[in-house]
Amino acid sequence: MPQILPDFSNSVKLKYVKLGYQYLVNHILYLLLIPIMAAILIELLRLGPDEILSLWNSLHFDLVQILCSSFLIIFVSTVYFMSKPRTVYLVDYTCYKPPVTCRVPFSTFMEHSRLILKNNPKSVEFQMRILERSGLGEETCLPPACHYIPPTPTMEAARGEAELVIFSAMDSLFNKTGLKPKDIDILIVNCSLFSPTPSLSAMVINKYKLRSNIKSFNLSGMGCSAGLISIDLARDMLQVHPNSNAVVVSTEIITPNYYQGNERAMLLPNCLFRMGGAAILLSNRRSESWRAKYRLVHVVRTHKGADDKAFRCVYEVEDKEGKVGISLSKDLMSIAGEALKSNITTIGPLVLPASEQLLFLVTLIGRKIFNPKWKPYIPDFKQAFEHFCIHAGGRAVIDELQKNLQLSAEHVEASRMTLHRYGNTSSSSLWYEMNYIEAKGRMKKGDRVWQIAFGSGFKCNSAVWKCNKSIKTPTDGPWIDCIDKYPVHIPEIVKL
């Protein structure tokens, strides 16, 4: 009987082969320059000082050549530094922590659902099944108006929630950074579903008596990815306004959007969305670089609104009884997957090391020329980032991204724990996740963070940050009283 060949996949340490390949490709320029520099150095040593001096003296420079060369160097340097984008720093940020009086345990949520939907037990049962599989914990919060039976979604109550969340986050930001209201040059507030008149940005200006020449923006209707759209807008504004501070406020007001009908597709947001908000201070001032936590590296935005299914997959609409709510399509996850695919196709070349880009290119050419059935190569984004902040839109969203990006449990820990402790806080969830990583003491100087968010329209947006300094474990923030008990095990189904 012929000898069976050994299993090379087990006998050879392929892990180290891959690591060697990555090091070789990523440092190819250095590896080529070293022998060249060594050869030059050996040649200089062989010539000796007298021959080097005579070679230098043989070169002839006149005054015109020196002046022209100096002018060219100064001109090129000036053009380079003038056209170079201004560095945008994230000085600091704060997250709103709701009071315990707003807490909604599962038992309270289901009791209210039974009373509000007493004529439709199937809708109650549907909400219970969703809640059991949602990944939420017992400490998520809803605004005071949603605690009444039935809820009281009045304009006054909605404004009250907005003032509570936004002003609390802003006050914390002022205390944490020492920023004065008069120092704010740019203000951006994003809230998707509550857009009163005057706007929420005007409400902030009135509260803190901000300057009359402040550049203010109020973004609405842009879904859970609006926070990164606000960051992108702030970056663009900071490019044209030197020596400026920008404050971004991201939140979602739940009060006017609690659905009280029977449509299942519109009941789903009731089970997932919870109150929350964040305030972020960005600056392009060089004087802020020493204390800034992060530096903004890239923002990549993808919009799939040209496709009708994508446009309508998250849609505010009235049901048959005239009750307004947000309808979530069954195609939501597949549409989100397509949006993510487009987004990472754009961001990949910006962040991936050469080794991953080369493998992706070779696979792509092989599929186009040789065999279309070849399995496409999924780049290893763990080579580009140390931390991942995936929008905590729901367990299914996190599961899908973990699978598609081949991430470990630790990479998605911040997203899962944020969903468990605070629920889906819409555009602000990314900042609760980043604060979780900091509270765990994992954020080190040079670490790269990838924030990924999805929103209605349909949009997938990404932001890449680089940590400026090793961040000490914070002594305040939304995780201060519970970080020690996390991570917790989250079962697939919590029986209610």
To the query of whether residue 60 is one of the catalytic residues in this protein, the response is no
CA distance readout (Å), 26 to 19, 36, 71, 345, 357 = 10, 18, 36, 20, 10
| Residues ≥6 apart with Cβ < 8 Å to 121 | none
- Annotated catalytic residue within 146, 224, 271, 460: 224
To the query of whether residue 391 is one of the catalytic residues in this protein, the response is yes
Give how far the C-alpha of residue 242 lies from the chain's centroid of Cα atoms, to the nearest Å.
Answer: 25
To the query of whether residue 424 is one of the catalytic residues in this protein, the response is yes
Q: How far apart are alpha carbons 151 and 467 in whole angstroms?
A: 43
- Annotated catalytic residue within 262, 387, 435, 467: 387
List the end-to-end C-alpha distance of the chain, in Å, as a whole number: 61
- Annotated catalytic residue within 27, 102, 303, 482: 303
To the query of whether residue 241 is one of the catalytic residues in this protein, the response is no
To the query of whether residue 303 is one of the catalytic residues in this protein, the response is yes
Name the residue among 415, 469, 439 with its Cα closest to residue 89: 469
- Annotated catalytic residue within 141, 218, 257, 391: 391
Name the residue among 246, 170, 238, 236 with its Cα closest to residue 203: 170
- Annotated catalytic residue within 95, 420, 460, 461: 420
3-state secondary structure of 294: strand
Tokens encoding 433: 């996740």
Greatest alpha-carbon span in the chain: 102
Name the residue among 421, 412, 402 with its Cα closest to residue 95: 421
112 CB neighbour count, 10 Å cutoff = 19
CA distance readout (Å), 99 to 165, 250, 253, 275 = 11, 19, 16, 11
488 CB neighbour count, 10 Å cutoff = 11
Tokens encoding 412: 């998605």
Tokens 């990924």 sit at which residue? 452
Amino acid 300 reads: V
Amino acid 79 reads: V
Tokens encoding 347: 């961001």
Name the residue among 88, 464, 463 with its Cα closest to residue 244: 88
CA distance readout (Å), 202 to 57, 192, 195, 213 = 71, 16, 11, 13
245-251/186-190 β-pairing? parallel
To the query of whether residue 411 is one of the catalytic residues in this protein, the response is no
Omega before residue 198 within 30° of 0, cis:
yes
- Annotated catalytic residue within 218, 270, 424, 435: 424
Q: Which residues are known to be catalytic? A: 224, 303, 387, 391, 420, 424
